Structure formats: structure tokens, C-alpha cells
Homo-oligomer: A and B are copies of this chain.
């Protein structure tokens, strides 16, 4: 176990921040660390938009929940898959940009690799972070506020700041429940891992004063109904081809 692995294992999402500002050189070096993540054939299909305008922050905080931390965090980024550069270059060359689902998928993967390296760099500097999937409640509004042109696909938000809380570790599935050898396990094996996990998860929730439901019930409650049905139409309007 080295310091780096210790830092990775110590990750907690932070939802309350102090008012301490983040120096520009920290943002610069974290972004640079993000850029050094792997990228498919050097396409670098991502960008980060740092939102400093308080009105824009307020709009995004409201549509994402509301989530006050989006308005208040010392730094807030919208991380985007970005095929804009590639589209412009193809146009200039008199060609049509023809990436279908592969192009969209690469932009999501590249942007996520980039963001996670940024996150680790920020955490190594003593900051805490929280990803904000809630921006996907209304991406059309996000795109309007940030003036995102065709080819730019906002994926998630990212709050960063000095932690003003110290939350407990949220337990994860047992490692043998996510790491398999050669073939995918049987349903019975899958359920055995989930059963072991449900008790640990319920204990965690009870300690936080939440109703002590297991992970299984929380997942069913979350996934037995459709959500964010505007996503597909939005990404298609932004130029993604999901076929």
C-alpha cells in the first residue's frame, strides 16, 4: 500500500465546502493532470467549462435538484464530451463528420477519464469533490446557459473545494462481486454477493440516521421507472448519432 493507493481508498464525496478559494494554478495543474489521462487515438474528445458567473451557477444549481452546493462550491465545472473540434476540422476539409455511437461513446469515455484524473489531482491537493449527475435533469437548459454549440455533450458537473465535513465511507460491493475471471458469474453467484452487501449497506444507512433499507431495495426503487427521458433527444439535437 503506497500513498497514492491510500488516497484513492480514502475517497469520499464531499458535499459541504469551506469558503476558501482555489488558486488558479491548482486548477491549471489539475486540468493538465486530466489531460494526461489516456485518450482514444489522441482524439481528446472532452472539455471542462468552469462556471464562475453566479447567475449561471444559480440556474444550474436549481435544475440539478436544487443542489445548493452547485451554487456555493469554490469551483464548479461542467464536464463535456467534445466532438466540436473534430466536426470543425472535417468541415474545413470538405468532409462530413461521420462518427456514430462509437464517436459519442469515445467522447463519454474520454471526458470521464479526464475528469477522474482532475479529481485525483484535486484530492491530492487537499480538496474534496462531488460529481453532479443532476445536471442531466435538463441538459438543454445547461447547454443554453453555457452556449454549447453542436458537437458538445455535457455529461456531469463537478464541485470542488476544501472539505467542511468528514463523511463515513459508503461501503461498496464485495470485490469478488465486481472482479470475475474469464466468464460472467451465474445469477446465484451474483445474488450471493448482493446478500452479503445488503446487510453492510443497511448498517451504513442506519448509522447516518436514514431508514435502514438495503442496497437491493434502494436499487429497485431507483430503477423500476424511467428517468431523464430527454437525454436521448437532447444529445441527438446536439449532433450525436446514437444508432
Contacts and interface: CB of A to CB of B under 8 A. Distances in A.
A242 B240 CA distance: 12
A97 to B, nearest CB: 6
Given A84-B184, A90-B224, A219-B43, A35 B173 contact: yes
Contacts of A103: 223
Copies of this chain per assembly: 2
A166 interface: no
Interface in A78-92: 82, 84-86, 88-90
A131 interface: yes
A229 B98 CA distance: 11
Contact of A136 (B41, B102, B191): B102
Given A36-B11, A42-B170, A49 B100 contact: no
Contact of A146 (B41, B97, B152, B183): B183
A151 to B, nearest CB: 10
A223 B44 CA distance: 13
Interface of A: 1-5, 7-11, 13, 27-33, 35-44, 46-53, 56, 82, 84-86, 88-90, 93, 95-103, 105-106, 108-109, 112-114, 116-117, 119-121, 124-125, 129-131, 133, 136, 146-149, 152, 155-156, 170, 172-173, 175, 178-184, 187, 190-191, 194, 201, 215-220, 222-229, 231-232, 235, 242-243
Given A31-B179, A44-B172, A89-B223, 5 more contacts: A8-B120, A97-B224, A108-B109, A109-B112, A232-B242
Nearest first, the 7 closest Cβ-Cβ pairs linking A and B are A4-B124, A95-B224, A112-B112, A8-B33, A102-B228, A116-B116, A35-B172
